[in-house]
Amino acid sequence: MTPVAVMVGANRIVTAAGIIHPMGNAELSPADEKALRRRIVEKALQALQTEVVRPTVFTSE
Amino acid sequence: MTTLRVVCYLNQFFGRLGGEDKAGVGPQVVTGAVGSARAVQQALGEAGTVVATVLCGDNYVAEQTERAVADLVALVTAQGPDLVVAGPAFLAGRYGVACGALCAAVQAQLKVPAVTGMHAENPGVDLYRRQVYIVQTGGEASRMLDEVRRLVALGLKLVRAEPLGAPAAEGYFARGLTHNTVVSENAAERATAMLLEKLAGRPFASEVPLPDFPKIPAPRLVKTLEGATIALVTDGGLVPQGNPDKIEALNATRWGAYSIEGQQGLDAAKYDNVHRGYDTTFVKQDPHRLVPVDVARELEQRGVIGKLHETVYSTTGVATTLAHSARMGREIAEQLRAAGVDAVILTST
């Protein structure tokens, strides 16, 4: 859904793990799933510290 | 045919009271047509008479809008009008806002049609075009009589309850209303015709105007992460069991604030998900797949972030109108700001 986020003008957009589980993935082991979630949150924190002037997509992988 | 009673509204400048030096004058009424209201009389011809011109200074209205509009409505009411014509205000911002506010109040309280006119960039357009018929004018008063003729023509149609054409045909700003009309070509034929125009590089008009998303400047995080309070917000439909705030499954108008104080994570047994726009099976199994409280709490404890805000805000973002989304966002942002939150991670499905 990141193109929609860009279209509506969200400034800092992080690609996550999918519509039905943006912050996880049921197919991974619990430990791997949590590591995935941590990477996405850390990418979001990195995005928050990045100056942007237009909708900008940060990829988490 | 009976002659209609028309009341005009003008600011100090177009009412010939004076310039900026008179912008503070309060509401007043003059018998008959004065200033640019004479153009209204000219455009009306035999159809109506400008029985009075109501005047007020731009600053007076801008600084105490509610009271000024109430006083102006009282002056208008006393004249027993069939139609109110405000402005046109062209590009004059304070004047445009006053015209819009007065027309909206007149329609609501007197049940009398009111029209005004403005340039597309007058702030009064965005504020009032949904409530009031605002005729599109130029930026300056150089073609006053022509512009006023269009206001009056629309006003007369409203008084006579004649059917109005589409905004583009009648020259007013779209009010966001949908009307059913019978057309000879079906949707496939119209869409194909539009596509052919597009391929040929010719102009075409969509029948479904897209909402206009204003550009929002990106704020900077002024603190370092180690000193910042971070909040988690979601439009993915997380609610406590029983959905205490009755957040709608779609087309949401409500949001909820849920405490995570003292919690290392979200206990799946205590949460539900009401979002009807995606398969919520996986986030019901583990709400962290939507709202990463577990990871954020660990980052707080490791000192990566200063503090995890102890309230999670949630609503459902599916078929939610832009107006409700903007309002809910504003309301949540006010609470976050009051609580000293520095930044937000909003997880969306």
Considering only CA atoms, which of B109, B89, B145, B11 is closest in space to residue B153? B145
Size of interface A-B (CB pairs under 8 A): 88
Disruptive mutation site among B225, B271, B286 for chain A (greatest number of A CBs within 10 Å): B286
Query: Which among A8, A38, A51 has CB closest to B220?
Result: A51
Name the closest residue on chain A to residue B294, using Cα atoms.
A34
Residues of chain A neighbouring B221 (CB-CB closer than 8 A) = 48-49
pLDDT of residue B295: 98
pLDDT of residue B226: 96
Digit-coded pLDDT (tens) for B318-332: 988 888 999 999 999
Per-residue b/e over B175-207, b at no fewer than 16 CB within 10 Å?
eeeeeeeeeeeeeeeeeeeeeeeeeeeeeeeee
Q: Between chains, do B289 and A23 touch, taking CB under 8 Å as contact?
A: yes
- Order of strands, sheet of B114-118, starting from the edge strand that comes earlier in the sequence: B28-31, B48-56, B4-11, B83-90, B114-118, B133-136
The dihedrals phi and psi of B317, each to the nearest 5 degrees, come to: -100, 80
CA distance B186 to B324: 33
Q: Between chains, do B283 and A37 touch, taking CB under 8 Å as contact?
A: no
β-pairing, B114-118 vs B28-31, is unpaired
Chain A closest CA to B238's CA: distance in Å?
Answer: 12
How many CA atoms are closer than 13 Å to the CA of B1, on its beta-carbon side?
10
pLDDT of residue A60: 61
Overall average pLDDT of the B95-100 stretch: 96
Q: Residue B1 — pLDDT band, cuts 50, 70, 90?
A: low
pLDDT of residue B319: 83
Digit-coded pLDDT (tens) for B292-306: 999 999 999 999 999
The ipTM estimated for the assembled molecules is: 0.96
Distance of CA B120 to the CA centre of its chain: 14
Residue A48 has pLDDT above 90, yes or no: yes
Query: Which among B286, B298, B304 has CB closest to A24?
Result: B286
Name the closest residue on chain A to residue B284, using Cα atoms.
A21
Considering only CA atoms, which of B9, B43, B52 is closest in space to residue B147? B43
How many CA atoms are closer than 13 Å to the CA of B321, on its beta-carbon side?
6
Query: Which among A19, A26, A51 has CB closest to B278?
Result: A19
CA distance B233 to B292: 10
* Helices and strands (DSSP H and E) totals, chain A: 2, 2
pLDDT of residue B294: 98
Chain B closest CA to A28's CA: distance in Å?
Answer: 12
3-state secondary structure chain B: CCCEEEEEEEECCCCCCCCHHHCCCCCEEEECCCCCHHHHHHHHHHHEEEEEEEEECHHHHHHCHHHHHHHHHHHHHHCCCCEEEEEEEECCHHHHHHHHHHHHHHHHHHCCCEEEEECCCCHHHHHHCCCCEEEECCCCHHHHHHHHHHHHHHHHHHHCCCCCCCHHHHCECCCCCCCCCCCCCCHHHHHHHHHHHHHCCCCCCCCCCCCCCCCCCCCCCCCCHHHCEEEEEECECEEECCCCCCCCCCCCCCCEEEECCCCCCCCHHHEEECCCCCCCHHHHHCHHHCCCHHHHHHHHHCCCCCEECCEEEECECCCCCHHHHHHHHHHHHHHHHHCCCCEEEEECC
pLDDT of residue B215: 85
pLDDT of residue B5: 97
Q: For CA atoms B333, B334, B337, B338, give the dihedral sign.
A: negative
Overall average pLDDT of the B231-260 stretch: 97
Return the bridge partners of B311, or none.
Answer: B259
Digit-coded pLDDT (tens) for B184-211: 999 999 999 999 999 999 998 888 777 7
Digit-coded pLDDT (tens) for B259-301: 999 999 999 999 999 999 899 999 999 999 999 999 999 999 9
Chain B closest CA to A20's CA: distance in Å?
Answer: 6
Q: What percent of chain B has pLDDT over 90?
A: 82
Q: Which is more confident, B186 or A4?
A: B186
Residue A22 has pLDDT above 60, yes or no: yes
Name the closest residue on chain B to residue A40, using Cα atoms.
B292
Q: List residues in chain B touching A: CB distance below 8 A.
A: 213-218, 220-221, 225, 230, 236, 278-283, 285-286, 288-292, 294-296, 298-299, 304-305, 343, 345, 347-349
Residue B223 has pLDDT above 60, yes or no: yes
Digit-coded pLDDT (tens) for B45-97: 999 999 999 999 999 998 899 999 999 999 999 999 999 999 999 999 999 99
Residue B130 has pLDDT above 60, yes or no: yes
SS3 of A5, please?
helix
CA distance B267 to B42: 73
Q: Which is more confident, B20 or B338?
A: B338
Q: Between chains, do A9 and B213 touch, taking CB under 8 Å as contact?
A: yes
pLDDT of residue A61: 58
Q: List residues in chain A touching B: CB distance below 8 A.
A: 1, 5, 7-9, 11-12, 16-17, 19-26, 33-34, 37-38, 40-42, 44-45, 48-49, 51-53
